[in-house]
């Protein structure tokens, strides 16, 4: 069971709710902060003193106020925290419901769990914490159902070639020249754009970066 937990949440009512849920499963007196910068300072000090946190629970959206912050959202905090402590488990607790955003958190940021704020979130939060404690990643039901329904694209050899080139760092506009040199058809930029659009729509992604990250995570490329 986790003993040292840090909560990054700028809404006091949500922070209190998370603390109460933690207490119910035996995790007493977690640390909590309202700003991402403060969270990172806590994580840094914990690592320096040899007493790193067992878990970071963070929201994604933090309201801006009079205070100037270097880290302005949860995704930035996660990246910065993992740079300091790569083994730090992360649970995101947010109102965000877009599948592509959540997919990015799992694939690019390697989060350990996601719980959407809303009806029944306390119960789900308990389930997520228990699962993460057992060294298992937690995937919310709505996310699993949505990805099963939306991940309908059947990758062809041409698709895999395009994704592989993007994953290797080639710019989209340079791919046609590569295809022409290697006598791969179709080799037009329009064909590539259409194929990428079809893949992203089938997988509910909005950017090439999300598509590449997903294909890499799933072993497609």
Q: What is the pLDDT of residues 2-49, one digit of tens each?
A: 889 999 999 888 878 888 888 888 888 899 999 999 999 999 999 999
pLDDT at 148: 60
Per-residue pLDDT of 134-166, as tens digits, reads 888 999 888 877 766 555 566 788 988 999 999
Tell me: the pLDDT tens digits for 167-206?
Answer: 999 999 999 999 999 999 999 999 999 999 988 887 878 8
Mean model confidence pLDDT for the chain: 89
82: tokens are 């993992």
Residue 151 is encoded by which pair of tokens? 């991940």
pLDDT of residue 15: 78
Percent of the chain exceeding pLDDT 70 equals: 95
Report how far residue 194's alpha carbon sits from residue 162's, in angstroms, rounded to the nearest whole number.
12
Give the model's pLDDT for residue 153.
60
Would the pLDDT of 56 be above 90? yes
Picking from 116, 66, 110, the residue whose alpha carbon sits closest to that of residue 85 is 110
**Mean pLDDT for the stretch of residues 88-97:** 95
66, 70, 128, 139: CA torsion to nearest 10: 120
Confidence of residue 81 (pLDDT cuts 50, 70, 90): very high
Give the residue carrying structure tokens 């990428």.
196
Structure-block tokens of residue 4: 């040292």
3-state secondary structure of 110: coil
Mean pLDDT of 71-85: 96
Contact criterion met (CB below 8 Å) for 69 and 36:
yes
Kindly write down the DSSP assignment for every residue of 168-195, as one continuous string: TT--GGGHHHHHHHTT-S---HHHHHHH
Tell me the pLDDT band of 217, cut-offs 50, 70 and 90: low
Residue 74 has pLDDT above 90, yes or no: yes
């Amino acid at each position: 069971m986790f003993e040292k937990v840090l909560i990054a949440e700028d809404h006091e009512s949500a922070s209190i709710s998370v603390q109460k849920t933690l207490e119910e499963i035996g995790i007493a007196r977690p640390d909590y902060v309202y700003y991402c910068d403060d969270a990172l300072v806590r994580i840094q000090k914990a690592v320096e003193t040899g007493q790193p946190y067992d878990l970071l629970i963070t929201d994604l959206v933090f309201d801006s106020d009079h205070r100037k912050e270097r880290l302005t959202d949860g995704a930035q905090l996660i990246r910065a925290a993992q740079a300091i402590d790569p083994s730090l488990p992360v649970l995101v607790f947010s109102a965000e419901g877009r599948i592509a955003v959540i997919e990015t958190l799992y694939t690019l940021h390697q989060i350990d769990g996601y719980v959407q704020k809303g009806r029944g979130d306390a119960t789900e939060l308990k389930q997520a914490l228990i699962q993460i404690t057992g060294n298992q990643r937690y995937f919310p039901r709505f996310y699993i159902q949505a990805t099963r329904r939306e991940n309908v694209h059947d990758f062809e050899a041409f698709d895999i070639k395009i994704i592989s080139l993007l994953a290797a760092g080639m710019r989209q506009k340079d791919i046609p020249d590569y295809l022409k040199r290697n006598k791969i058809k179709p080799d037009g930029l329009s064909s590539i754009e259409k194929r990428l659009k079809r893949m992203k729509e089938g997988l509910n992604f909005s950017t090439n970066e999300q598509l590449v990250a997903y294909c890499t995570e799933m072993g497609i490329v």
